[in-house]
Amino acid sequence: MPDITLDDAQRIVARGRAAAEAAGMKAVFAVLDKGANLVAFSRMDGAWLASNELAIAKARTSVMFQAPTEVLNAPLEVGKPVLHFDHIHSGGLLLVGGGVPLFDDDGVLIGGLGASGGMPEQDAAIARAAVAK
């Protein structure tokens, strides 16, 4: 079964860093394999420390649901209670923009990317740029 390679993960991180720099952001990037194991991690100088865990949680969520985290966030309504997966899944899942699943050319899941450093919309944009071919 296919999985993300370290070389591909590092290329994704490099594209994400370039997108973050172009947007004037300092971000953290985490690439996980299809089993939600860390393959590559990068924290830009000056990025928030909290973004370390947030990027990993976004990547994990995108792997577990095989969907961008911003799509999973869509049913949530402002002012309504938010479902927190930390209480039911020890690994922590996060339903805000910045996580994208990674698929091979045949549409098979090979991993996920999480980006964190700005507002969820900004994180989603740099994550999409990172995985664009």
- Tens of pLDDT, residue by residue over 46-98, are 999 999 999 999 999 999 999 998 887 666 555 555 555 544 445 677 778 99
Establish if 1 belongs to a structural domain. Answer: no
Candidates 22, 39, 7, 21; CA nearest to 113 is 39
pTM of the model: 0.88
User: For residues 25 and 130, is the Cβ–Cβ distance under 8 A?
Assistant: no
What pLDDT does residue 92 have?
74
CA distance 44 to 35: 25
Burial class (CB in 10 A: 0-12, 13-18, 19+), 114: buried
Establish if 53 belongs to a structural domain. Answer: yes
**Count of structural domains within the chain:** 1
CA distance 119 to 112: 19
Establish if 124 belongs to a structural domain. Answer: yes
Establish if 57 belongs to a structural domain. Answer: yes
What pLDDT does residue 87 have?
41
User: Mean pLDDT, to the nearest integer, of 25-29?
Assistant: 98
What pLDDT does residue 1 have?
59
Q: Which domain holds residue 81?
A: 6-131
CATH of the domain at 54: 3.30.450.150
Q: Is the pLDDT of residue 39 over 70?
A: yes
User: For residues 43 and 50, is the Cβ–Cβ distance under 8 A?
Assistant: no
Establish if 59 belongs to a structural domain. Answer: yes
Place 15 in a pLDDT band, splitting at 50, 70 and 90: very high
